[in-house]
Structure 1
């Protein structure tokens, strides 16, 4: 068993020990940034920091990206927020995890989204403190996304659906190339959204040259996750 697999096994074991209820949900970039900032404020208010005075944010090498057939060039994709999980990850995998600042975490969220990655928030109620992680999933190597495309869903939709403005769309198809869930198709030179496949991740909205795509609430999916809903503020 590789060092990476052993480390992930330890982390999953820790999650089993600490977790009473586990949840996960897709979130667009702007909401991911808001949630990250809210979490940092929460831990600052509680005066919780990692060992050596570090912010309780750790960046970890994604096991999916590291072991994929065509892995992402940059494998540091998973952001853990909060203790004891951040320090546990860094302590047990010093070559694959490191502490990062709030600013670097936000920069990672934004740059990964620009590359077509999908944000997936994992959170859990814990006996020893809550666990939060934002995975910046690479569509080409993420096991979770691949399982969803294979119709065995492991994802909770973001609560949005992509909306096409027919007056702006020129039918170039560029956005369709980036959709990780195969929810887009061209018909009569206009982009069509499959409501059964669209997960509301928002990747396509940043790829449209004509600003013809936007996210709107999808009432058929669970509501979007906001800081007040997650943190109870």
Structure 2
């Protein structure tokens, strides 16, 4: 029997979890994550530091009630690594502008499990879109959790149901439905500001893609975790490269790079390949077209939307 006071989007998410074979704990975890995302994700911010005392016991409880196991381990290309990390359950892949554009414009349902060469994880690798034309724009929980956030705040895109409808129905004061053209304009504006576009995947988001976020190193919780050695982001599959004959040493690319992957020597700019995630922001910032992206098989394969079945 369905309870009349339960929102339709909650019912839809519960049914999707049930059909996917997820546990009741997974449903509750996902519900809390999406329903109270400004508290859950905002723990990484500095606006309400008193929330942080909850983080350690929360992680302890989740780890005991719903622990990872060896088959859930994030391998990062190392088959001998069996220690599981949070990045197995929640992680993102940077998208160059052309691929982000295609993903936003994906107007057909797809059912795809991405190989580990694209996403080197085990718990969330699917792109399954229901009602793919539904896009909800929401205020970024990471930026909202900061005392002095980057602006604008409304830069997070929730793509496809049941998630787009859930966020819209539960956060009506911080969300609105937008068109694909509006979403593209937001992504282009954010990349022009030097912010990185990611496709995000999460285990309790039915193990699949659910959001496109535009991140800055100063506000983003995932990027902060990544900088501390928690591999919550995987490479786009590209690396930036510099044509030093064209480089004028203006420094704009280094200022825009969120991963601190660009340095300078007497010859001009150079790329620290161990830091570069291939997001492409630097290529957009260079007025001389001195920077481009090249395929980097050693970093993994790109997410090529045209190849989605």
TM-score between both structures, scaled by the size of structure 1: 0.81
Alignment correspondent of 1:108: 186
Quote the Cα distance in structure 1 between the aligned partners of 2:194 and 2:253: 10
Matched, 1:134 2:212: yes
Quote the Cα distance in structure 2 between the aligned partners of 1:64 and 1:47: 25
C-alpha root-mean-square deviation of aligned residues, in Å? Answer: 3.0
Quote the Cα distance in structure 2 between the aligned partners of 1:213 and 1:187: 16
Matched, 1:61 2:139: yes
> Does the C-alpha gap of structure 1 residues 86 and 189 become closer, same or farther in structure 2, counting only changes over 3 Å?
same
Alignment correspondent of 2:254: 176
Three-state SS of the structure 1 residue aligned to 2:297 is coil
Contact residue 27 and residue 119 of structure 1 kept, 8 A? yes
> Does the C-alpha gap of structure 1 residues 166 and 10 become closer, same or farther in structure 2, counting only changes over 3 Å?
closer
Match of 2:172 among 94, 101, 111: 94
Quote the Cα distance in structure 2 between the aligned partners of 1:60 and 1:216: 33
Matched, 1:77 2:155: yes
Matched, 1:214 2:292: yes
Alignment correspondent of 2:36: 7
Aligned length: 215
Alignment correspondent of 2:223: 145
Following superposition, the deviation at residue 127 of structure 1 comes to: 9.2
TM-score between both structures, scaled by the size of structure 2: 0.62
Alignment correspondent of 1:202: 280
Quote the Cα distance in structure 2 between the aligned partners of 1:143 and 1:31: 23
Matched, 1:37 2:105: yes
Quote the Cα distance in structure 2 between the aligned partners of 1:149 and 1:129: 24
Quote the Cα distance in structure 1 between the aligned partners of 2:178 and 2:168: 11
Q: 5+ unaligned residues in a row in structure 2: which ranges?
A: 1-32, 42-65, 67-88, 111-127
Consecutive aligned runs of 4 or more in structure 1 exceeding 3 Å deviation: 9-12, 46-50, 123-131
Q: 5+ unaligned residues in a row in structure 1: which ranges?
A: none
Contact residue 120 and residue 136 of structure 1 kept, 8 A? yes
> Does the C-alpha gap of structure 1 residues 106 and 209 become closer, same or farther in structure 2, counting only changes over 3 Å?
same
Alignment correspondent of 2:305: 227
Quote the Cα distance in structure 1 between the aligned partners of 2:222 and 2:205: 26
